[in-house]
Amino acid sequence: MLRLKDEVLDLEDLGESVTLNEFTLDDFRIELSKYIEANRKVLEDAPLGLYAVVPSPSGENARLADYSRLDKATKDLISKGVIFCLRQKGDGSGCEKVNPLQPYYFLVYVRDDGVVRYTFTQPKQILDMYRLLCAGKTVHYDALCRLFDEQTENGNNMKEYSSLLGKAVDAIVSTYRKRVLHHLLSGRNAILPDQQSQVSETTDFELITWLVIK
């Protein structure tokens, strides 16, 4: 419970009751397992870097989706931005104590204003967002795809998203260092990962997928 005290604050931001069930990703694993079984071939053939565009419940494009089931606090929480899923390249062995999802610096939610709302230490909150925005959607949002193409000049001008990706990586490095220090101070049995395995400004990441919230 002490190790998860930071996550508790974010769960409270979502307006949820904090229970032990909130500290597990088991429900997401079950859903993912079913999805993999039903779509194994599609997933195996999918390239890296796939993305989708969805409307923000608190933006002018909210009318494109049915967000009537969401309360105002949740709508305001999911503002325009991007959720990035990144994977550390190279040998990251020994980092599991700092990041249980190693080598995935899983999901980072960056708002359009550059503020990193959630980093890799809060996968449940971001997966909750993913579920609210994407679950059950099988058709893309035509209007949002056209808007994205116009704003990025059909993918030739990705300066805005490259900047947000840079902020996501900076947040990963900063959070990683804090967790390493916390782990070091947590007890005599703490073991630090090898220097070459640790995340730093020079660490290479692969972009697995990203979700644009418009």
Domain assignment present for residue 88? The answer is yes
Number of domains in the chain: 1
Question: Cβ neighbours of residue 75 under 8 Å, at least 6 residues apart?
Answer: 57, 58, 62, 67
Residues paired with 53 in a beta bridge: 212
* CA–CA distance, 130 with 106 (Å, rounded to integer): 13
Domain assignment present for residue 169? The answer is yes
Domain assignment present for residue 112? The answer is yes
Domain assignment present for residue 25? The answer is no
Q: What is the pLDDT of residues 23-50, one digit of tens each?
A: 467 778 888 888 889 989 988 898 888 8
Domain assignment present for residue 31? The answer is no
Whether the Cβ atoms of residue 199 and residue 94 lie closer than 8 Å to each other: no
Residue type (1 letter), 68? S
Give the structural domain span for 68: 47-213
Tokens of 48: 């890296």
Domain assignment present for residue 75? The answer is yes
What per-residue confidence (pLDDT) applies to 190? 58
Domain assignment present for residue 55? The answer is yes
Domain assignment present for residue 41? The answer is no
Residue 205 has pLDDT above 90, yes or no: no
Cis preceding-peptide flag for 103 (omega within 30 of 0): yes
Q: What is the pLDDT of residues 186-203, one digit of tens each?
A: 666 655 555 555 666 656
